[in-house]
A and B are shown apart, each in its own frame.
Chain A
Amino acid sequence: AQKITQTQPGMFVQEKEAVTLDCTYDTSDPSYGLFWYKQPSSGEMIFLIYQGSYDQQNATEGRYSLNFQKARKSANLVISASQLGDSAMYFCAMRGKTSYDKVIFGPGTSLSVIP
């Protein structure tokens, strides 16, 4: 069965510093997709970044980058130059090999950016 683990329930980071949010996953599928979402207190889930299991390079999107280590089954999110608006819950998610497979979400990490 597929599973997502986020071991950091809460994280703090100083404004303008970089922070890494951990995500490990378990799957037997050779092909899968990994996602990161941000959920501010308003409730909306905001898509941040995507990594395909066969992508050769780590995904990057502005201040977000995904540190993908396939052999370790980890897909950590790195946020550079943290801003106060980055304070939110962050969810790692995975979808199986086909577009029709369910997306499963991890329990989330609460990030607080300190001025």
Chain B
Amino acid sequence: ETGVTQTPRHLVMGMTNKKSLKCEQHLGHNAMYWYKQSAKKPLELMFVYNFKEQTENNSVPSRFSPECPNSSHLFLHLHTLQPEDSALYLCASSQVSGGADTQYFGPGTRLTVL
């Protein structure tokens, strides 16, 4: 595997379900990100982890719970979601070094909440 991978690619869940999204980066980066992309809205940053420590929580509801066990893996735990949470969830990683620090994205998980 190369780059940033995300599983599952598609997920349909009920409002009472609990599920998790997984992201893995194979780039040796030290920062990872979760973004939400809803239809007709700009990409929204949800969480940032630098060196496994959460450094940003962009006013995300508590029904979204991130976990970063190491610098290569990032999870987004989901519980009691609402239909408006249906969106494309993108994971990204970057090497924070003071340069361009370009973020590289995974293919996303398309989530539908029924």
Contact A105 B42 (CB under 8 A): yes
Name the one of A43, A52, A100, A103 contacting B108, with C-beta atoms under 8 angstroms.
A43
Q: Are B97 and A45 in contact (CB under 8 A)?
A: no
Contact A47 B43 (CB under 8 A): no
Report the bound CA distance from A108 to B39 in whole Å: 12
Interface of A, helix, strand, loop or mixed by DSSP: strand
- Number of contact residues on B: which range applies? 20 to 34
In contact, B45 and A103 (Cβ under 8 angstroms): yes
B7 at the interface (CB under 8 A from A): no
A47 to B104, CA, bound (A): 7
With both chains docked as a complex, state the minimum distance between the C-beta of B2 and any C-beta of chain A, in angstroms: 13
Given contacts A43-B107, A50-B100, 6 further A-B pairs with CB under 8 A are: A45-B92, A99-B97, A99-B101, A103-B45, A105-B43, A107-B42
Which residues of B approach A to under 8 Å, CB–CB?
41-43, 45, 48, 50, 55-56, 58, 88, 90, 92, 94, 96-108, 110
Residue ranges of A at the interface with B (Cβ–Cβ < 8 Å): 4, 33, 35, 37, 42-47, 50, 52, 91, 95, 98-100, 102-108
